[in-house]
A and B are shown apart, each in its own frame.
Chain A
């Protein structure tokens, strides 16, 4: 069990800046994110795309914004719990008990939800009958390559991940690559390799085909694919791999009894607290009259929420507003040596 002043859900730009605003007030925070790295949408959706509306930063990329925020919060030594998702929260006598999908437990007076549009999850194949095979013979990511040795593998998708794994697995398994159109999207090198392996008969390519169904029963044996002219084929298959990128799912947040409207959490604009005391929502995930989904709005929301977090975490201390420019206390916390 980890005790902390604040649990922050979401390591996007707004969650990261919340660490800063809490840190300069002397509050400790732990930050949880389902991705394998900090940065949220900035790093997952547009690391290289430019951003022009961060105050005093005329232009930056999603990646450089993230890097700079990480640098800015380094003095506070917050722990990141990545590849982890908050599953449930419970009220235990005024303290929130936060539990992740890896059974990590936090006790905290404050939770800041900076979850953007939700957590990133792999997009799945549109076939309900595949659910029972999931994590046994149907996968949307590769964690242990050994599971894929000497198998008949059907890979769905036309982007980098689909191509890279098709090439890799063709070394030791029988690979069929199935894609809804003729064009694949990959680096020129990958596309060349794919062409080579196709000619050698090491990879079977089926385009423009999509999944239609799989066999009945408990064991995956074949997958039926169909093209635009409704021509079908059965492909012998032990393992199905689907690579359709990531989608954002609100997930368990929707079940915490928070007042919601259209996938967002309603907050007040005084301190961005939700209908539950000690739970705050900031950034894209919160809504209030006039809300703009801008990173800069999220920064403002983080600053105000952190004041209320202080009051709840230090009920016996008086909150004093201080400037970073002149406060020795803050500068000590930032580790600034004069």
Chain B
């Protein structure tokens, strides 16, 4: 099972095995990772599962759709490497992915 690492703003890092096919958001919610609210449940309507993807990984992920970019505009403190974790689907290709959660989501 691919491993996904979630780092919070204090630098605390947690790594979990996340099943293929789940999203990085679902992996976080299932493992009670703090800082991922995911209010809308993954329908790309709220931007509260916003994460920063480690630079080295950012370009390896499939390019975000326009709708995701529009939604990231609404996120709290978006950066160049911002993504919505509900739109990143876990697969063997992203085994080892590291994301950082923002200071807060709203």
- Measuring CB to CB, which residues of chain A are less than 8 angstroms from any residue of chain B? 41, 45-46, 117, 123, 126, 157-159, 179-181, 183, 185, 210, 228, 244-245, 247-249, 263, 293
- Residues on A with C-beta less than 8 A from B46 are 45, 247-248
Residues of B within 8 A of A249 (CB): 106
Q: How far is the CB of A232 from chain B (nearest CB, A)?
A: 16
Q: What 0/1 readout, one digit per residue, does chain B (33-67) give for beta carbons within 8 Å of chain A?
A: 00001011101011110000000000000000000
Residues of chain A with a CB closer than 8 A to B77's CB: 126
With both beta carbons as reference points, the residue of chain B lying nearest to A158 in the complex is identified as B73
> Chain B: residues with CB nearer than 8 A to chain A?
37, 39-41, 43, 45-48, 69-70, 73-74, 76-80, 103, 106
Separation in Å of the A206 CB from the closest CB of chain B?
15
Could you tell me if B69 and A181 are in contact, using CB atoms closer than 8 angstroms?
Answer: yes
A-chain residues with CB within 8 Å of residue B80 when the two chains form the complex: 228
* A70 CB, nearest partner CB in chain B, Å: 22
| Nearest residue, chain A, Cβ from B45 | A45
- Contact partners of B40 in chain A: CB under 8 A: 45, 117
A-B contact count (CB 8 A): 46
22 A–B contacts from the bound complex (CB under 8 Å): A45-B45, A45-B46, A46-B45, A117-B40, A123-B74, A123-B76, A126-B77, A180-B73, A180-B78, A181-B69, A181-B73, A183-B69, A185-B73, A210-B78, A228-B79, A245-B47, A247-B46, A247-B47, A248-B39, A248-B46, A263-B37, A293-B41
Q: Give the distance in Å from the alpha carbon of A159 to the alpha carbon of B66 in the complex.
A: 12
A175, chain B: closest CB distance, angstroms: 18
Kindly provide the distance from the CB of B20 to the nearest chain A CB, expressed in whole angstroms.
25
Nearest chain B CB to A106 CB, angstrom units: 28
- Residues on A with C-beta less than 8 A from B70 are 158-159, 185
A277 to B80, CA, bound (A): 50
Cross-chain contact of B73 among A45, A46, A117, A159 (Cβ < 8 A): A159
In the complex, chain B residues whose CB is within 8 Å of the CB of A183: 69
Instruction: Specify which chain B residues have a CB less than 8 angstroms from the CB of A263 in the assembled complex.
Output: 37
CA–CA, A247 and B45, complex, Å: 9
Partner of A247 from B41, B43, B48, B73 at Cβ < 8 Å = B48
In-complex Cβ contact of A245 among B37, B43, B74, B79 (8 A):
B74
**Given A46-B45, A247-B106, A248-B39, also A179-B73 (CB < 8 A):** yes
Most-contacted residue by chain B among A45, A126, A179, A293 (CB, 10 A)? A126
Q: A180-B78, A228-B80 are in contact. Are A244 and B73 (CB under 8 A)?
A: yes
- Bound: A248/B80 CA distance, A: 25
Task: Give the one of A159, A185, A247, A293 with max B CB within 10 A.
Answer: A247
A121 to B41, CA, bound (A): 18
- What's the Cα separation between A245 and B40 when bound, in Å? 14
**Residues of B with C-beta under 8 A to A157:** 73
Q: What is the bound-complex CA distance between A181 and B40, given in angstroms? A: 24
Q: Which 3 A-B pairs have the closest CB atoms?
A: A126-B77, A245-B74, A45-B45
Instruction: Considering the complex, give the chain A residue whose CB is closest to the CB of B37.
Output: A263
Residue of B nearest to A121 (CB): B106
Return chain B residues, CB-CB under 8 Å to A210: 78
Give Cα A172 to B78, complex, Å. Answer: 31
Q: Which residue of A lies closest to B41 (CB)?
A: A293
